[in-house]
């Protein structure tokens, strides 16, 4: 049996999200959403095979964007193409600026849905980062927003929590062989070619670096 069939992933009821304020696209109102979404009474781990088709739940997904600013102030973002063996099958062959994935019940270290004294969301995010990339630079990180896209089948059952990792040097390298054509590219170049990116990346690039950001 595949890991997708047996894996239990972190979810929150969609109606909790709607009660806080439904939005389409990107919001920077982190303080409005994060505390309530991650209340132990709201989050749980459910079989991934079930919730992938159940709009009654949103799977909570960390989405890490790597940003570098050079001495002249030019901003560059780490981007890559998803190979066929990587992650969500509905996103293959798309370019992306986000690193992350599902938070598994294994990230609780047996502490239950809320993780007890642990932090399963951040544990899962660190695990995903360690699996997918090697970060060879000092960096600072912060949560900068959330993504919701109810216009695609993938987006209807996922809610992205976006983190910006600002690296001192552009030394982030792919570990997984399915993360291909990777490297830092100037923000302006990425904004000029949004059609080649997966939906969450388009939303994130426009929200963080677009004209009205």
d(CA 150, CA 147): 10
The residue with greater pLDDT, 124 or 90, is 124
How confident is the model at residue 83, as a pLDDT? 76
pLDDT score for 177: 87
Model confidence over 90-110: pLDDT tens digits? 445 789 999 999 999 999 864
Going by pLDDT thresholds of 50, 70 and 90, the confidence category of residue 132 is: very high
Q: Region 162-184: what's the mean pLDDT?
A: 95
Tokens of 201: 């990346």
Q: Cα 146 from chain centroid?
A: 9
Please say whether the beta carbons of 60 and 21 come within 8 A: no
Is 126 or 113 the better-scoring residue by pLDDT? 126
CB neighbours of residue 44 within 10 Å: 18
Check if CATH label 3.90.79.10 holds for domain 3-209.
Answer: yes
DSSP state of 210: S
Residues 6+ apart with CB under 8 A from 110: none
pTM for the predicted model, two decimal places: 0.89
């Amino acid at each position: 049996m595949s890991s997708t069939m047996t894996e239990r992933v972190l979810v929150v009821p969609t109606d909790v999200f709607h009660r806080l304020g439904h939005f389409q696209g990107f919001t920077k109102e982190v303080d409005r959403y994060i505390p309530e979404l991650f209340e132990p009474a709201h989050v749980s781990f459910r079989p991934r095979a079930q919730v992938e088709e159940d709009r009654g739940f949103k799977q909570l997904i960390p989405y890490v964007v790597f940003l570098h600013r050079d001495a002249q102030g030019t901003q560059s973002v780490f981007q890559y193409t998803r190979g066929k063996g990587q992650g969500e099958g509905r996103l293959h062959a798309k370019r992306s600026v986000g690193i992350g994935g599902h938070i598994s019940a294994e990230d609780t270290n047996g502490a239950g849905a809320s993780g007890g004294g642990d932090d399963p969301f951040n544990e899962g995010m660190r695990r995903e980062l360690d699996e997918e990339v090697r970060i060879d630079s000092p960096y600072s990180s912060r949560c900068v927003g959330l993504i919701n896209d109810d216009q695609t089948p993938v987006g209807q059952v996922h809610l992205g929590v976006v983190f910006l990792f600002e690296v001192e040097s552009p030394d982030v390298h792919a570990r997984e062989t399915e993360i291909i054509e990777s490297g830092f590219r100037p923000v302006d170049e990425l904004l000029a070619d949004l059609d080649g990116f997966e939906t969450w990346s388009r939303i994130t690039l426009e929200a963080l670096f677009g004209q009205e950001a």
